[in-house]
Amino acid sequence: MHPRDVLSSAFAAAVNAARPESVLPRFLPEPPAGRTVVVGAGKAAARMALAVDAAWPADLTGVVITPYGHAGERLPQRIRVLEAAHPVPDAAGEEATREVLEAVSNLTPNDLVLCLLSGGGSALLTAPRGVTLARKAELTRALLACGASIHEINAVRKHLSRVKGGGLANAAKPARVVSLIVSDVVGDDLSTIASGPTAPDPTSFTEAFMVLMRHDVAVPDVRRFLSDGAAGRHAETPKPGDELFGRVENHLVVTNRLALDAASVHLTRLGFTSRIVSDRIEGPARSAARAHAALARDLVSGRALLSGGETTTIVREGAGRGGRNLEFLLALAVELGEDHGLYALAADSDGIDGTSFAAGGFLTPDTLRRARDLGLDARAFLGASDAHGFFEALGDLVVTGPTGTNVNDIRLVVRA
């Protein structure tokens, strides 16, 4: 099998293992004495809803939100699937969130709320607090562009929302809440995935305000609201130990590690000896590329490196298209130089890498030579944040479309 096919099939194995329909049914609780209401949000929400609808033995109703283009062709019969914008929230997301909040209102202790959460839920669950939707969208764009981590971004989001940071659990009381979660967060922190709508929030207004200060993000109204909150003029989000969470259960059903393990098993079947470096790699994509280059140089034939996590990129002025995985690959190409004998794939498990329409891309031993033959300067493309343009010109994009899941990045390096 050609090394590119090895990488493609290993990535497919990782994504297939992370599809919620394959694991979610075994996490379903017993039906309640009262009503069952399904709500949720994220890139995997439609597939999760489909799995619940097929497996649930009793009556249910509900509504979930997923990004545009992620609903898929097959829809659940008893759960509405609404689409909205991601990663910058829009009016459709705000209206859909109103429906979610209405669905969990006026419930009783005998009722059950099944909450289906996955990556992307933070942008899709949009119920602004203290600021307008337009300001919140402006803030989201600024935080994404400055390279803030997902933990920092969500600390801010939770304090500008009526639904994040435990807000959905609060809205659903006194019903029992069971959340089934596909993790797109390094370390699988329940309070960070989809900004923790059913989890206690350990962050504070002060921390949220300091994120804006640290990254020099100045959005009118937002700084003022967070500053007032830090001064005690607004109610905090519910914290660990709050009695609210005595009737809430949060269950991780799919993680990045599960996907990496599946890819590793697949590579073993193909005759490779594989090593999972880490499923918790964070920080700048270019720094991750340097670290991977150092490890990859020592690979011998028949060996593979795997890693996961979520890196970050800083978008330059006048930037081209791309995402953290394509930038990682381009930086890896520059670090390795020519004639390194390695093949690599880096892709986002949700099928969309940043502003690219691709999931990610391929690196081959002759990437830089082929680029030079086409008159392409890898360093110039890297400086212009246009990794998509570079790999598209080479025909080395990985294009899958939305996969129906989201467990962050999958990086694979092999020496054939």
DSSP element (H, E) containing 117: strand 112-117
Q: What percent of the chain has pLDDT over 90?
A: 92
Taking residues 128-142, report their average pLDDT. 94
On whether both 224 and 109 belong to a single domain, the answer is: yes
- Per-residue pLDDT band for 272 (boundaries 50, 70, 90) equals very high
pLDDT at 404 over 80: yes
Pairing of strands 273-281, 303-309: parallel
Q: Does residue 231 sit in the same domain as residue 311? A: no
Whether residues 72 and 221 share a domain: the answer is: yes
Peptide bond into 87 cis (omega under 30): yes
State the average pLDDT over residues 23-50. Answer: 97
**Which of 403, 335, 384 has its CA nearest to residue 363?**
335
Give kind and range of the element (H or E) at residue 372.
helix 367-373
Of the candidates 173, 226, 178, 238, which has an alpha carbon nearest to the alpha carbon of residue 202? 238
- Tell me the mean pLDDT in the region 356-376: 97
Same domain, 283 and 163: no
Domain termination residue (choose one: 254, 289, 304): 254
C-beta of residue 7 within 8 angstroms of C-beta of residue 341: no
pLDDT at 347: 99
Q: What pLDDT band is residue 319 in, cutting at 50, 70 and 90?
A: low
Task: Indicate the pLDDT class of residue 317, thresholds 50, 70 and 90.
Answer: low
> Does residue 235 sit in the same domain as residue 294?
no
Average pLDDT value for residue range 369-397: 96
Spacing of C-alpha 65 from chain mean position: 15
What would the DSSP string read from start to end of 50-83? HHHHHH--S--EEEEEEETT-S-S---SSSEEEE
C-alpha closest to that of 5 among 282, 325, 414: 414
Q: Provide the pLDDT for residue 322.
A: 81
**pTM recorded for the entire structure:** 0.89
Average pLDDT over every residue of 185-189: 93
- pLDDT of 318 reads 59
The string of pLDDT tens digits covering residues 204-215 is 999 999 999 999
Q: What is the rounded average pLDDT of the residues 106-110?
A: 98
Q: Are 359 and 352 in contact (CB under 8 A)?
A: yes
d(CA 264, CA 306): 8
Q: What is the pLDDT of residue 355?
A: 83
**Together in a domain, 218 and 305:** no
| Residue 357 contacts residue 350 (beta carbons within 8 Å) | no
Burial 143-161 (b: 16+ CB within 10 A, else e): bbbbbbbbbbbbbbbbbbb
Domain limit, last residue, from 235, 254, 273: 254
Q: CB-based contacts of 235: which residues, under 8 Å, 6+ apart? A: none
CA angle 194, 206, 227 (to 5 degrees): 105
| Residues 285, 324 within the same domain | yes
Assess whether 313 and 187 both reside in one domain. no
Residue 409 — very low, low, confident or very high, per pLDDT cuts 50/70/90?
very high
**Mean pLDDT, the chain, integer:** 96
Contact between 165 and 237 (Cβ < 8 Å): yes
Give the residue among 40, 36, 45, 29 at the shortest CA–CA distance from 168: 40
Could you tell me if 245 and 280 lie in one domain?
no
Bond before 174 cis per omega within 30 degrees:
yes
pLDDT reported for residue 27:
97
Single-letter amino acid code for the residue at 255: T
Q: Could you tell me the CATH number of the domain that includes residue 165? A: 3.40.50.10180
Q: What pLDDT shows up at residue 286?
A: 97
Give me the amino acid identity at 353: D
Q: Does 395 lie in the same domain as 318?
A: yes
Is the Cα torsion angle 255, 81, 194, 200 positive or negative in sign?
A: negative
**Model confidence at 147: pLDDT above 90:** no
Number of independent structural domains in the chain: 2
Residue for token pair 């890898």: 378
Residue range 356-361: average pLDDT? 95
pLDDT at 168 over 70: yes
Percentage of the residues of the chain whose pLDDT score is greater than 70: 99
Residues 229, 375, single domain; the answer is no
Instruction: Find the domain containing 277 and state its range.
Output: 3-11+257-415
Residues 311 and 211 in one domain: no
Report residue 212 CA to chain centroid gap.
22
Among residues 254, 285, 300, the one where a domain terminates is 254
Angle between helix axes 256-269 and 3-17 (nearest 10 degrees) is 140
CATH number (domain holding residue 356): 3.40.1480.10
What's CA 389's distance to the chain center, in Å?
23
